[in-house]
Amino acid sequence: MNSANVKQVSQSFIKPKYNVQNSKEPYYLAPMDLSMLSLQYIQQGLMFLKPLHFSNGQVFSIYKFLETLKDSLSQTLVHFYPLAGRLVTHIDENRHESVIFVDCVKGPGARFIHATAQDLTISHVLDPVSNDIPSVVHSFFDHNEAVNHDGHDQPLLSVRVTELIDGVFIGCSMNHTILDGTSYWHFMNVWSEIHNNNNNYNKGSDKSVLNSHLPVHNRWFPDGYGPIVTLPYTDHYEFISKYEESGNCEKMFKFSSRAVARLKAQARNESGNNQISSLQALTALVWRTIVRSKPGLTHDHLLKCVFVGNYRPRLNPKLPENYFGNCTGAIECKVTVKEMVERDLGWVASLLNQAVGNHNDSSFRESIKAWLNSPSVFQAANLFDSNSLTITHSPRFDMYGNEFGLGKAVAVRSGYGYKFGGVVAAYPGFHGEGSIDLEICLPLNTMTALQSDEEFMNVVS
């Protein structure tokens, strides 16, 4: 299966139903936003069974569905208005610096694509036996080879709705300079809520609830900084690069709530640390297994595991969860191969727990101040290393709560972006109650060894 299976039917652009006053002003970006300019769009999506009827009883029609999606998207963009604009750069040649911001009314709006894959079924895409994620999934998303700086000319949000024989996939690509994973799923939650309220899918719903979910657009800065940040560049060639890896494969591994609970209990018992979380215990298992699977690592080789952590609750005072933008930081844990192989699961999990605990308000503020004193842009080639592990997303995100009148999604899948060796995306399991799904990207030989590891596969559902 490849992209030839997916055909584009139509394309349109969606603007906010009306413009709020703030959308007419330049939307300036914060340090963590600007540092993402050379990275890729966030691409996440949901697979639904194609129903005979919507949840309000009406007969399902893909064309009716697309129109209701467009209408509710237009309403949602009133609140998330930066996603309807474009990036703009103002250059000061004399000072050799530039300011990059969002013009929220520039361009035709968010892109909306209708596509079909009429020779594909859900079972072609979701293989419960091999756990493989076929490359055709990348075709369910727009912006597959774009970096965030391309948002000067390309939409900051693109929605692609792909109709399969028995399914519907809603895939969104959002510019990572505008938002992080927390804000991504916040947008999806609000869009789904507006869509369901419009079409009477939420019977008896209280529309006032939506107000408490609306985004907070005031960008966060340490005291004495902001709201405008200058970058020490006048040409994008100075800080933009595109980085790709080949030879990696993607698989989705599912871990039941019972298996996760057993693993967490094991890690806590072995370490005596009752603060270890489910994800930390599961990460420790994956990390140890991958290290065992890699040939040629010497005992003094330094290993690194990175959690992409949400700092909203770590700041003092806390930022609201509906703070719109990037508020993440890299939480690093380093060990040698010798330490990894000689210690047990609990020791590794406890080390991860300590690393997470050491990142707080003061450490985040200091890192942002250091960036402001010497601004730079992340480069994928320097961030991702196949000998390291990077944990993105979170099983705490409300992914399956977005039903759009189709019922609960059967799966979450991601696109082309961030498919580097050693990157693991953590999702809530379909059945909830503490179950976790991990989308793992590794070189083929390492993935084969991972699937042959008895300790790891005994925990996989």
Count of Cβ atoms closer than 10 Å to residue 113 Cβ: 17
pLDDT-based confidence at residue 243 (cuts at 50, 70, 90) = confident
**Closest-CA residue to 15 (of 88, 67, 87, 70):** 70
> Chain-centre distance of CA 250, in angstroms?
16
CATH of the domain at 57: 3.30.559.10
Domain end (from 238, 262, 282): 238
Q: Is residue 297 part of a domain?
A: yes
Task: Convert the pLDDT of each residue in 153-200 to its tens digit.
Answer: 999 999 999 999 999 999 999 999 999 999 999 999 999 999 999 998
Mean pLDDT of the chain: 94
pLDDT, residue 3, reads 63
- What is the arithmetic mean of pLDDT over 406-422? 96
Query: 264 and 199 share a domain?
Result: no
Q: Is residue 326 part of a domain?
A: yes
pLDDT, residue 205, reads 57
Number of domains within the chain: 2
Query: 199 and 314 share a domain?
Result: no
Query: 227 and 255 share a domain?
Result: no
Asked if 84 contacts 372 with a C-beta cutoff of 8 angstroms, the reply is no
Asked if 276 contacts 356 with a C-beta cutoff of 8 angstroms, the reply is no
**Closest-CA residue to 377 (of 218, 219, 234, 233):** 233
pLDDT, residue 333, reads 96
Domain end (from 178, 213, 238): 238
Query: 285 and 367 share a domain?
Result: yes
**What are the phi and psi torsion angles at 94 (to 5°)?**
-65, -40
pLDDT at 428 over 60: yes
- What is the arithmetic mean of pLDDT over 35-52? 97
pLDDT, residue 5, reads 84
Q: Is residue 243 part of a domain?
A: no
pLDDT-based confidence at residue 55 (cuts at 50, 70, 90) = confident
More confident residue, 277 or 201: 277
pLDDT at 236 over 90: yes
pLDDT, residue 204, reads 53
Report the share of the chain in percent with pLDDT over 70.
97
Task: Convert the pLDDT of each residue in 361-391 to its tens digit.
Answer: 999 999 999 999 999 999 999 998 877 899 9
Q: Is residue 200 part of a domain?
A: yes
Count of Cβ atoms closer than 10 Å to residue 52 Cβ: 7
Report the share of the chain in percent with pLDDT over 90.
88
pLDDT, residue 57, reads 87
pLDDT, residue 206, reads 57
- Note the pTM of the prediction, 2 decimals: 0.96
